[in-house]
Amino acid sequence: MKNIEIDDETCIGCGQCVEICPEVFEMVADKAMAMNPERCDECDINEAVEMCPVNAIRLGE
């Protein structure tokens, strides 16, 4: 399981990560949250990281 962190201060709530990885990300009060990081194998998390316009998503092990 990957450790997915979203910088709350940086996230602008564009929703792109939710569109790319709906299994993992959810919008909560206009910010993205990684609600189901264990499901990250089912989608392309690297694409979500790359597509985030403000680089708010970080991956750890």
- Using CB under 6 A as the binding rule, whether residue 11 contacts ligand SF4 is answered as yes
Q: How far apart are CA 17 and CA 31, in angstroms?
A: 11
- Using CB under 6 A as the binding rule, whether residue 15 contacts ligand SF4 is answered as yes
26 Cβ contact partners less than 8 Å away, ≥ 6 residues apart: 18, 32, 33, 35
Nearer to ligand SF4, 45 or 57 (CB): 57
Contact present, 25 and 2 (Cβ < 8 Å): no
Write out the binding residues for ligand SF4, residues 40-59 only, by CB under 6 A: 52-54, 56-57
**Binding site residues, ligand SF4, CB under 6 A:** 6, 11-17, 32, 52-54, 56-57
